[in-house]
């Protein structure tokens, strides 16, 4: 009889992207590429394509909670990520669930992609929900992964250089108590795609050359999903962040054309190249 490998499980709580390039669709594709079984709880529906978001309809808080409970009842995840939650009600559902969830040996493996502002500048979080996210959800997280616009909101300061990224990452860690991966992929006048990780002890500067001529969609979702998958595979947080950086770099390099846009390509790292810890 063939002995089948036990796959670890990860959960994404996020929005659905009708264009297939971001949100839950990107998360599940990333989980599978890295050898993790993906489960999902849909927080909102979006009408979007790679160029713009046309509309957003949040899931009811009751239905969101039932999705999360259904997953944990039979498929308890080793790691969880949140993406676009959008509404106050849905953030409160996530907060309530994880405040009461007993993590294995106290090891929190919750990655929060705040999804407050898209890279195109569109607001993706209701204004009233921002306060709940900052005061209630971020203190529960192991890691928050803001882009530059989101980091400026969380740190309440402008970010125009790598050094200012370092300062902002420390400010966010101090304010909310979680580790920070500040993504600087859209930093002006930078020759490299630079990200800063800081957890209160360890600081990492993660960099990769810009890929010219490609305008990608869903990079933040894919990056945070890869980190979540690495955590589910047993990596510690600094190592998981490095897996995430390598994965998103590979996905951008392998981008392919769809219509008049680009989609992130195959992650070549794969489960066979990531050792479990």
The residue annotated as part of the active site, out of 183, 244, 249, 269, is 183
- Our answer to whether residue 218 is catalytic in this structure is yes
Active site residue 219: yes
Calculate the alpha carbon distances from 109 to 134, 227, 228 in Å: 18, 10, 8
20 torsion bin: left (phi>0), alpha (psi -120 to 50), beta (else): left
- Annotated catalytic residue, options 30, 221, 244, 245: 221
Candidates 12, 39, 216, 222; catalytic one? 216
**List 38, 218, 222, 245, catalytic entry:** 218
User: What is the enclosing helix (H) or strand (E) of 254?
Assistant: none
Nearest in space to 151 (alpha carbons), one of 171, 177, 128, 126: 171
Check if 2 is active-site.
no
Structure-token pair, residue 264: 């992130």
239 CB neighbour count, 10 Å cutoff: 17
Active site residue 183: yes
Strands 143-144 and 179-184: parallel
d(C-alpha 220, C-alpha 119), whole Å: 9
From the list 220, 222, 244, 269, the catalytic residue is 220
Does 261 participate in catalysis according to the annotation? Answer: no
Catalytic residues: 183, 216, 218-221
């Amino acid at each position: 009889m063939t002995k089948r490998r036990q796959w670890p499980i990860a959960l994404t709580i996020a929005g659905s992207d009708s264009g297939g390039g971001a949100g839950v669709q990107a998360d599940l594709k990333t989980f599978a590429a890295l050898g993790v079984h993906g489960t999902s709880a849909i927080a909102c529906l979006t009408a979007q394509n790679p160029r713009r978001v046309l509309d957003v309809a949040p899931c009811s808080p009751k239905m969101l909670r039932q999705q999360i409970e259904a997953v944990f009842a039979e498929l308890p995840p080793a790691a969880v990520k949140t993406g676009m939650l959008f509404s106050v009600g849905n953030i409160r559902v996530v907060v309530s669930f994880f405040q009461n969830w007993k993590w294995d040996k106290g090891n929190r493996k919750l990655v929060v992609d705040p999804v407050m502002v898209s890279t195109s500048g569109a607001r993706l979080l209701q204004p009233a929900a921002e306060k709940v996210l900052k005061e209630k959800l971020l203190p529960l997280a192991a890691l928050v992964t803001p882009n530059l616009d989101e980091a400026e909101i969380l740190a309440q300061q402008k970010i125009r250089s790598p050094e200012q990224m370092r300062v902002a990452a420390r400010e966010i860690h101090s304010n909310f108590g979680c580790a920070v991966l500040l993504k600087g992929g859209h930093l002006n006048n930078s020759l490299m795609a630079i990200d800063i990780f800081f957890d209160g002890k360890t600081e990492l500067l993660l960099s990769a050359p810009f890929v010219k001529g490609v305008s990608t969609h869903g990079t933040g979702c894919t990056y945070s999903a890869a980190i979540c998958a690495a955590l589910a595979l047993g990596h510690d947080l600094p190592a998981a962040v490095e897996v995430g950086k390598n994965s998103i770099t590979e996905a951008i390099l392998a981008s392919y054309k769809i219509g008049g846009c680009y989609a992130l390509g195959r992650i070549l790292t794969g489960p066979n190249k990531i050792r479990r810890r």
